[in-house]
A = this chain, B = another copy of it.
Amino acid sequence: MNKEKLKNLLESIKNNEIEVDEAMKVIEDLPYKELDFAKIDTHRELRVGYPEVIYGEGKTTEQVVKIIEFMLSKDNNILVTRATKEMYEEVKKICPEANYNELARTITIRKRDDKVTDSYIAIVSAGTSDLPVVEEAAETAMIFGNKVVKITDVGVAGIHRLFDKLNIIREAKVVIVVAGMEGALASVIGGLIDKPLIAVPTSVGYGASFGGISALLCMLNSCASGVSVVNIDNGFGAAYNASIINKL
């Protein structure tokens, strides 16, 4: 829509050739939806039951507490990722029902009991050292209202453990695979299932694992076709993705 058309439209209003409500729809269709999608975003969140998410890293305890204080006035569930225990201690003072998952480093506050999905997200991990990322993913998926099944310690070094659990993995609607070191688990599972698979490389390992680069590259180069990848240790991002897919 250019200026001329807009002027014509407004003059049509003036001349009573068009109703105000009809004109409004047209103007709302203009690109200023950019202002609007802020609101749409808010609506969407209320609608799909996503809590506000606070990324705790690089924030002070005071900042986190202030943000939560504001959020508590709303009806949303609240999730803080990469939260320190100290943050939790302060949050508990203004919100005693807050929960802290030490392994996941998450604070969660449930203000509504959202309906949980029937279909589930399977979170599969290679070794015990990958558990913090598994837990972050699980806390994220659960507060977003997803049913979650965790299958841990099924790394390829003892692949029979994986096969025992294959049915549970195959029946999930979407699968998150969490693995460090060489990250081969994503490829192996990717070759065995027919579901979206989100791979999370972890920084578990030493030497040439280079803080997760080895697992990241392994997953990006997976010879199994149905694998997509998120950032190293990004359990939250994987769960956010999985939740969107699980609710399709």
Interface residues of A (CB under 8 A from B): 1-3, 6-7, 10-11, 13-14, 16, 20, 23-24, 27-28, 30-39, 41, 44, 48, 53, 57-59, 63, 126-129, 155-161, 163-164, 166, 173, 181-184, 187-188, 190-192, 194-196, 198, 201, 203-234, 236-238, 240-241, 244-245, 248
A24–B6 CB distance below 8 A: yes
Known: A63-B128, A221-B231. 18 other contacts (CB 8 A): A6-B27, A10-B24, A14-B16, A31-B160, A33-B163, A53-B225, A127-B223, A156-B223, A181-B222, A182-B220, A196-B244, A196-B245, A201-B207, A203-B207, A205-B221, A206-B234, A218-B218, A228-B228
For the complex, give the distance between the alpha carbons of A24 and B6 in Å. 8
Taking the nearest CB of chain B, how far is it from the CB of A101, in angstroms? 15
A20 and B14 form a contact (CB under 8 A): yes
Q: How far is the CB of A67 from chain B (nearest CB, A)?
A: 10
On whether the beta carbons of B164 and A31 are closer than 8 Å, the reply is yes
Copies of this chain, tallied across the complex: 8
| Interface residue from B13, B181, B183, B211 paired with A13 (Cβ < 8 Å) | B13
Least CB separation from A246: chain B residue: B248
Complex A-B, nearest 6 residue pairs according to Cβ-Cβ distance, in ascending order: A207-B232, A58-B129, A184-B184, A31-B32, A228-B228, A214-B217
- Contact call B234/A207, Cβ cutoff below 8 A: yes
Taking CB atoms, residues of chain B closer than 8 Å to A205 are: 221
Q: Is the CB of B33 within 8 A of A166?
A: yes
* Nearest Cβ on chain B to A229's Cβ, whole angstroms: 5
- Of the candidates A23, A36, A184, A191, the one having the most CB atoms from chain B within 10 angstroms of its own CB is A184
Q: Is the CB of B221 within 8 A of A182?
A: yes
Per the bound structure, the CA–CA distance linking A244 and B248 in Å amounts to: 12
Determine if A35 and B163 form an interchain contact, defined as CB atoms under 8 angstroms apart.
yes
